[in-house]
Structure 1
């Protein structure tokens, strides 16, 4: 990882260290060095070391107190590893720690290299990448950029991509891959490596569906290689949470490819259920909510469609990638006779703006979507004037579609998980039907959504005419209507009550 095989090297320990043209403080400054940079020591004059900077191809002098000197041989390896271990969990010292880890890997004999060095190197590189993603426009931005430049000289590679107008920087995970491959790695080391390699926020949004499917399959394989039995409870929880999120993504992709996602969705629910809530740390609160929302968005993939009723929903293929939802009213179809009730397909079999197409003469209403329609979620009110169905328009975003019958016929309204689309990062949330309130034109709904980095869960009573929230609470026990009218199927399968 070091550019050259240095006999005696010096690692800079202070930021803004001046490399001067002569061994005195009044000499002209050649360049400012950052913490963690490595130099070749070529001599000493008084309190100053004469050094050569191979990266910039220039020499100079700096004070001996601003660096640590090492001879790159087997005898210095323990000292280099000790410094690496000391700074591995110290924020802001990542470049210094990575430089010592790189020197250790260069100096130590092959038999002395343990997974601990790669574990420390990966931990510091991942933390530096996280800070770089979060420090945009902040005071420490310049120092973070300098550290990124320093660690790049040691072969630590970062990947960057834009998401929602913001730059995301992620460590490529080479050190963690070595931890996963080495036979001497402990279960804790493998767990940390797997969690770092499978971060949701480090999945590039520019991947094609085929690339994304391949990546998620690899992410689940990495997580599957972690034996959770000997892990402490908090690490077990983190592995289960990550598995739940990855499996939910795989289930959604399977549904998009017209494959059966039931088994995968059930495993996602099983991973979420395996989380020991009593052992969740304060730092894991957001991760737990994130896993629950991801699983909640695809939970209907684990359910079989119910038996068709006289008023039911079915789907047909529309344009490439499009699904058309058809409302079938068996009683109404028996009455269709006159020209005013003509539901035949337009010429060419193409769907009309609101009517059915492709030969679906029995549908009284049709609406098409690019999302995934979970027909198993369909629910009809007692008066047969309203139908709800879950439509997932993204991997982590599920809407509630409400079909209503009015004086002019059927129409549909889309209720999103949140009207606030200024969220940080990808949209994450779902809203689901929870029950019909008889007589007073209201329905029960539950929703979870991430807004500005925070997760909000609410149970609501919605007015059917305006779709406005009449009452809401953060616990369903606080609303009497949920005691009386909650749908048993919703109560038995939802992840919002956990």
Structure 2
């Protein structure tokens, strides 16, 4: 029907009444919301006579509640100016989508470029964020979502951690990348299309890897060299995050070479971030990206030289999908000192042993973005195994890594980073080897004399915990 309309009235006020007659006391036919369009068929007594194609009914609206436009090229400049204004006006997403749709209809095909789809995508994406942030039912918000849907804007519901999030499906942003927008527009499109919170958590590992490979290809379509430093930072952070996920996924499938390359890229992308140019709102994203990269960084770390005499840790296949850790001594190779199997991803390059041979550690990544430190330690009752998790809460985002041993081997130094209450919390701890309970804890490595003095050069040269 829209193709035959020559003149439309765009509703610019919420809860505008569609009357049965050109009188304020006439019965209300419907309640209109900003962004809706009506076909103009005449004018009577200060009212516009219109036809509502969505509800398939005629009626009358006050002239001040709408704006009238002819759907031809003469209206395009005026519509363009309003779209540019509304694109950056929070709360007016439905109205902006209505204006953008009208402009796409009125403009000559040669005038339709990526900037219009950038505006449509930005408005739809912001509407989805606005809807996801609301905790209670909002009549106006629900109506704006309905208006957006009437223009073909598709929002997808994602169930995650007991809450529902709405995400824009990104059709307009795909057009921006396909048509070749400005570097800034392409960045907005790529970041919106690859937003991690809009990835369905119910995907299988194979499906999740396919999505992450697609996300990586989308991000590669943006040239960081053409962006201001603070915007290039956002691109590097997202690339680092995606590559860290791929490093874990490839390694879990046994593709160690691909996993190593993905890990190297993630570390490199994180290193490209100019911290002096980080926008204030991106500091949290930087910390979280660093934790994700650190959780998978072992994929690209070469295996250490085989230590001398003493207990050593060997990895052997167990049940399908399992890896078994077998701690043995060369003096009694047939009798393991300790043994444990896991479905987690064991990083052989992370195996470290204390100088006295009384402790052996290894990093085990159980989930994407969650790596534990497993500590085999010799005590009076024999060899024990303790798993050090980033925190005692349910796994979300975090890692623990070995920072070294004290010279006498009685203390284990570890660094932890974990997402708690929406923030990354870092701690540098000195643990008693016998109990692996913290003896000293500091927020920075230099705040603990023992940690600063005995943390290993190997750890300091590779860690991402000190940024």
TM-score for the superposition, normalised by structure 1: 0.89
Report the equivalent of 1:363: 336
Q: 2: CA distance between counterparts of 1:370 and 1:451?
A: 25
Q: 1: CA distance between counterparts of 2:188 and 2:288?
A: 19
Q: Is the 8 A contact 1:11 1:69 kept in 2?
A: yes
Report the equivalent of 1:493: 462
Report the equivalent of 1:436: 405
Report the equivalent of 1:321: 321
Q: 1:288 aligns with which of 286, 289, 295?
A: 286
Return closer, same or farther for 1:66/1:463 CA change in 2, 3 Å cut-off.
farther
Report the equivalent of 2:145: 148
Q: Match of 1:229, SS?
A: helix
Q: 2:187 aligns with which of 181, 191, 196?
A: 191
Report the equivalent of 2:11: 12
Cα deviation, residue 3, structure 1: 5.4
Cα deviation, residue 438, structure 1: 3.9
Q: Match of 2:302, SS?
A: coil
Return closer, same or farther for 1:3/1:159 CA change in 2, 3 Å cut-off.
farther
Unpaired segments of 5 or more residues in structure 2? none
Taking only aligned residues, the RMSD between alpha carbons, in angstroms, comes to 1.8
Q: Is the 8 A contact 2:244 2:293 kept in 1?
A: yes
Q: Is the 8 A contact 1:3 1:154 kept in 2?
A: no
Report the equivalent of 1:402: 375
Q: 2: CA distance between counterparts of 1:59 and 1:326?
A: 79
Report the equivalent of 2:217: 221
Alpha-carbon displacement from aligned partner over 1:292-328 (angstroms, at most 9, x marks no partner)? 0110110111112223333222212222222222212
Report the equivalent of 1:392: 365
Alignment of 1:157-168 (within 5 A): 157-168=154-165
Q: Is the 8 A contact 1:3 1:153 kept in 2?
A: no
Q: 2: CA distance between counterparts of 1:399 and 1:459?
A: 15
Return closer, same or farther for 1:313/1:146 CA change in 2, 3 Å cut-off.
farther
Alignment of 1:10-409 (within 5 A): 10-137=9-136, 141-183=138-180, 185-260=181-256, 261-309=259-307, 310-333=310-333, 361=334, 363-409=336-382
Alpha-carbon displacement from aligned partner over 1:84-103 (angstroms, at most 9, x marks no partner)? 10011111111111111111
Q: 2: CA distance between counterparts of 1:468 and 1:439?
A: 17
Q: Match of 1:39, SS?
A: strand
Unpaired segments of 5 or more residues in structure 1? 334-360
Name whichever of 3-12 and 320-329 sits farther off.
3-12
Q: 2: CA distance between counterparts of 1:244 and 1:167?
A: 27
TM-score for the superposition, normalised by structure 2: 0.95
Q: Is the 8 A contact 1:420 1:451 kept in 2?
A: no
Return closer, same or farther for 1:3/1:408 CA change in 2, 3 Å cut-off.
farther
Q: 1: CA distance between counterparts of 2:100 and 2:458?
A: 55
